[in-house]
């Protein structure tokens, strides 16, 4: 065992003394040492229930014959970090999380890992670490929140209802009392936000990749089932250690293609493009951005999930969950190992019935193509991403007039002050991985556009990214970003921009000679943040087109 390096032999007498200082009995030193990386925090609804799950994971580890050691991992709530300096830290925290898990596991020679996670950047950070370390690992996602309940049995979703409610109140569509009812009911308790936003999409994809036990991706945070999954995961990690089943045996190219297909079939968050690329990078799997679009053209959208549809995570879980989606995808799913010990197809074959009102069959899809499209063209030569499942048919092809803003705050002020009109294309730049730094989510401006009723007459383009709650004609991840001198930096107010999602095109309709003149006078802006670790992050982070990973190159 790896842990023998800190507990076997004369030279390890000091190490054993320190271990005994933790309270470990002599009898337990021969057992596999299992690290439980827990992202429990009182700051995030998706994580406040983890103390309970920690108990069940620990029981499972000891039942399985291992010894559990807990260590803490930080978590950031994107909703709370939204709209201020805090959002700069969200995506970069993914790299910190991966580095911290790697550091503890290597320094203490842990034999295996249970990764207890839930929200947006924490889950991919944990998976990156597992792929990088390649020691037996299993992921437990803490589960989605129940839908909020309001008058007339209305169901609330935190992301779509609260952010869009601000704009509806501003526009006079709802009054202060209605706004308060939304605020009070949108988050009824623990769990990740109720729709198919980034946290829940990543939980689903973690199960699809084979790194979580069945039902883990959709089982509700408040359920007894989630406790049982936590216990079973604790037991199973000891077996994985004994059988030396490691993440890279599971995180194959086939696993990533399956995850992309499930994401496309459900119409999940565009953030998963960044995260799957980053996880594949650490797993040593070649996964070009173009793969997402190739699979999107042959993978129909089978579900209409909130925010672009009416179904919530609780509906998806009851309908069959991840395995229900895999069953409906049928032969499109590639067979691949999982931490359960059964293959992907074996698990999907065990599902007897799927609620086809929620997860439709291939013969009756919601839309003929998957939920995410990758665009290119002179405005995004290295790619851009749109959640096409959330775009109205009238906006799939659109030409408008550029309104340029060099930060999210400037754009948000213009939107809320009524300066954005039908026919505009809002361009938000210098918000990419380097320029942000940290590639902030643009949920507030996109939600404001939708809340003001402009979702079918205004488009938004950014080198930043979007929340999983974003819907409408919102194009993110424009690469190269403005801070690197990408074409988005050269756009000026009044330029015409053409969006053609079916043709996968994003074009700036300006003469080449004019663009060459603009490039000649473009000067890279000074960094927005010059102190702390974000300044270092900006120097080493790659573009969105490669997952915004940090490299030593």
Domains of the chain: 31-147+189-349 (3.40.50.2300), 375-546 (3.50.30.80)
Residues 6+ positions from 316 with CB-CB distance below 8 Å: 196, 218, 266, 303, 305, 324, 358, 359
Question: Do the Cβ atoms of 106 and 454 come closer than 8 Å?
Answer: no
Whether 39 sits among the annotated catalytic residues: the reply is: no
Q: Which of 376, 457, 467, 543 is catalytic?
A: 467
10-residue block means of pLDDT along the chain (553 residues)?
Answer: 96 96 96 98 96 98 98 94 90 97 98 97 98 98 92 80 81 88 90 92 97 98 97 98 98 98 93 96 97 96 90 96 98 97 96 95 96 95 93 95 96 94 97 95 86 92 86 92 97 98 97 97 93 94 94 70
Contact between 525 and 483 (Cβ < 8 Å): yes
Task: Return the pLDDT at 161.
Answer: 80
Cβ neighbours, 10 Å, residue 540 = 14
Q: Which residues in 20-52 are b (16+ Cβ under 10 Å) and which e?
A: eeeebeeeebebbbbbbbbbbbeebbbbbbbeb
Indicate the DSSP class of residue 514.
H
- What does the pLDDT read at residue 363? 96
Q: So what's the pLDDT on residue 520?
A: 96
154: CB partners within 8 A, 6+ apart? none
The rounded distance, in Å, linking the Cα atoms of 330 and 38 is 35
Six token digits for residue 178: 């209605």
pLDDT value at position 442?
84
Q: Tell me how far apart the alpha carbons of residues 415 and 426 are, in angstroms, rounded to a whole number.
A: 9
Q: What is the pLDDT of residue 404?
A: 98
Q: pTM (2 decimals)?
A: 0.94
């Amino acid at each position: 065992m790896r842990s023998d390096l800190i507990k076997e032999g004369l030279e390890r007498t000091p190490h054993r003394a320190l271990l005994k200082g933790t309270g470990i009995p002599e009898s337990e030193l021969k057992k596999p040492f299992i690290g439980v990386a827990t992202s429990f925090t009182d700051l995030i609804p998706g994580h406040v229930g983890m103390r309970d799950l920690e108990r069940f994971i620990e029981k499972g580890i000891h039942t399985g014959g291992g010894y559990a050691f807990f260590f803490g991992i930080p978590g950031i709530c994107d909703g709370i970090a939204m709209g201020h300096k805090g959002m700069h830290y969200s995506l970069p925290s993914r790299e910190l999380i991966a580095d911290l898990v790697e550091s503890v596991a290597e320094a203490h020679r842990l034999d295996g890992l249970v990764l207890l996670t839930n929200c947006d950047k924490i889950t991919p950070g944990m998976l990156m670490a597992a792929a990088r370390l390649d020691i037996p690992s299993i992921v437990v996602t803490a589960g989605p929140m129940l839908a909020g309940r309001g008058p007339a049995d209305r169901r609330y979703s935190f992301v779509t209802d609260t952010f869009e409610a601000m704009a509806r109140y501003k526009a006079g569509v709802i009054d202060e009392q209605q706004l308060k009812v939304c605020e009070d009911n949108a988050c009824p308790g623990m769990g990740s936000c109720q729709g198919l936003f980034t946290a829940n999409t990543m939980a689903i994809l973690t199960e699809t990749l084979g790194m979580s036990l069945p039902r883990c991706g959709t089982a509700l945070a408040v359920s007894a089932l989630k406790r049982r999954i936590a216990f079973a995961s604790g037991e199973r990690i000891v077996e994985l250690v004994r059988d030396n089943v490691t993440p890279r045996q599971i995180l194959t190219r086939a696993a990533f293609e399956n995850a992309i297909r499930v994401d496309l079939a459900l119409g999940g968050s565009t953030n998963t493009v960044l995260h799957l690329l980053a996880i594949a990078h650490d797993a040593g799997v070649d996964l070009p951005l173009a793969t997402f679009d190739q699979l999107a053209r042959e993978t129909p959208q089978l579900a209409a999930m909130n925010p672009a549809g009416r179904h919530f995570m609780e509906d998806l879980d009851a309908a069959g969950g991840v395995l229900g989606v895999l069953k409906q995808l049928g032969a499109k799913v590639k067979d691949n190992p999982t931490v359960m010990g059964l293959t992907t197809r074996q698990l999907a074959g065990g599902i007897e019935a799927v609620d086809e009102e929620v997860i439709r069959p291939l013969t009756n899809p919601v839309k003929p193509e998957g939920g995410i499209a990758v665009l290119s063209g002179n405005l995004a030569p290295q790619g851009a991403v749109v959640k096409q499942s959330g775009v109205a048919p009238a906006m799939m092809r659109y030409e408008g007039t550029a309104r340029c803003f060099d930060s999210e705050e400037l754009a948000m002020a213009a939107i809320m002050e009524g300066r954005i009109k039908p026919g505009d294309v809002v361009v938000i730049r210098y918000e990419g991985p380097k320029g942000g730094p940290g590639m902030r989510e643009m949920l507030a401006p996109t939600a404001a556009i939708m809340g003001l009723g402009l979702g079918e007459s205004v488009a938004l383009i950014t080198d930043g990214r979007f929340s999983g709650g974003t819907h409408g004609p919102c194009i993110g991840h424009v690469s190269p970003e403005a801070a690197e001198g990408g074409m988005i930096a050269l756009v000026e107010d009044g330029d015409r921009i053409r969006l053609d999602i079916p043709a996968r095109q994003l074009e700036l309709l300006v003469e080449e000679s004019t663009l060459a003149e603009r490039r000649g006078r473009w000067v890279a802006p000074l960094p927005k943040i010059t102190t702390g670790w974000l300044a270092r992050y900006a120097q080493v982070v790659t573009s969105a087109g490669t997952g915004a990973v940090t490299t030593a190159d």
